[in-house]
Amino acid sequence: MTTPSGIQARFRCTLGAFELDVDLDLPGTGLTALFGHSGCGKTTLLRCMAGLQAADGTMNVNGDEWQNEGERNGRPVHQRPLAYVFQETGLFPHLSVKQNLMYGYKRIPKSERQISLDQATKWLGLAHLLERMPKKLSGGERQRVAIARALLTSPRLLLMDEPLSALDQASKQEIMHYLETLRDNLAIPILYVSHSTTEVARLADHIVMMDKGQVVAEGPLQQIMARTDQPFGLEEDAGVIIDAVVSELDAQWHLCRADFAGGHLWLRADEGLAVGQTIRLQVLARDISLALSEQIDQSIQNLILATVDEVVADISPGTSMIRLLAGHTPFLSRLTTRALHTLAIEHGQQVWMQVKSVAIVD
């Protein structure tokens, strides 16, 4: 008998006016986003996993059973090897950053410590802050300390409940780099609650979309985001996520070329990018226009030959969503239905995608 890997979770409980009823089989590493509007059940699901919310069901984390069928609570929360990062940091105000970090670390037996103080401070950029008191930290710095403190308990599961929601935009942008580092370095699964498409697009490997206590879509981020039916009605944020490799830097024009399976895109070059670096790109459906021939006498830098894979009516009246394939890489384009009719675009047709460099988010 093989030991199950990943997270198997099945929960059912009353949630306000509706039932939380989920059945999930999630990856055992990487970052899984629980995504949806406020009140859809994301935080309740997280609390069920932590043992903070009573619910009927089962839960297994990489072969370790936390709750059996028929149990209402399962293993008590203090016996579940997890860490929970809330919106509020909860730092001890009378302890320095280092003392806050060591608080949980010292209580873990040496034989069970999986993450060192040096690792946590490096991943979250805290080395220069260790002697400061919490009141001397910015909001983003406090949240980074809270995350590091959680990691130093060497959890087998990291739960994060909208950790950026209390931060201003500048602090959110600053901390996302550190969250990417955690995603790429931790050997444990991270479950991340959010209703921000920007956070999900940048951080998630896997996504669970929820509505009224139900899972409406679940799977690898790139596959789910490229669906034309848009299971959660992303509207203006509909688009695809692409992994690409920086192949060229144009210092004169402050651009970089990013190669992906099926073509390349020119985009603004952020400071610190290097040739050979892997980056994640978000290309929104509203930023892709289509042409029947290659239009070279215009300002758009990215012209990519693609094949129409699917054409469907959009969620908004008068618009349509087109799924395209550049090689095997999917893209979405939102057009007015009038434009679709004028160009006579149909399945299997070859067209040129036109993508503004300034519209691509990395």
User: Do 249 and 256 touch, CB atoms closer than 8 A?
Assistant: yes
Cα–Cα distance, 300 to 291 (Å, whole number):
12
CA geometry: angle at 204 spanning 151 and 329, to 5°?
Answer: 150
Condensed to tens digits (0 to 9), the pLDDT of residues 270-315 reads 888 899 999 999 999 999 999 999 988 889 989 999 999 999 987 7
Average model confidence (pLDDT) across the chain: 90
Domain boundaries, the chain: 7-235, 239-359
Residue 233 — very low, low, confident or very high, per pLDDT cuts 50/70/90?
A: low
Question: Higher pLDDT residue, 316 or 52?
Answer: 52
Strand partners, 336: 319
| The pair of three-digit structure tokens given for residue 202, joined into one six-digit string | 């940048």
Out of 148-157, 269-278, 321-330, which region has the weakest mean confidence (pLDDT)? 269-278
Maximum pairwise Cα distance, the chain: 69
User: Is pLDDT of 231 > 70?
Assistant: no
Q: What is the pTM of this model?
A: 0.88
User: Is pLDDT of 251 > 50?
Assistant: yes
Cα–Cα distance, 47 to 83 (Å, whole number):
12
7-235 carries CATH number 3.40.50.300: yes
CATH number of 239-359: 2.40.50.100
Question: Higher pLDDT residue, 126 or 313?
Answer: 126
Nearest to 60 by CA among 309, 18, 71, 295: 71
Residue 1 — very low, low, confident or very high, per pLDDT cuts 50/70/90?
A: very low
Condensed to tens digits (0 to 9), the pLDDT of residues 326-341 reads 999 999 999 999 999 9
Pairing verdict, β 18-26 and 7-15:
antiparallel
Cα–Cα distance, 361 to 357 (Å, whole number):
9
Condensed to tens digits (0 to 9), the pLDDT of residues 74-93 reads 888 889 999 999 888 889 99
User: Is pLDDT of 182 > 70?
Assistant: yes
Q: What is the DSSP letter of 4?
A: P
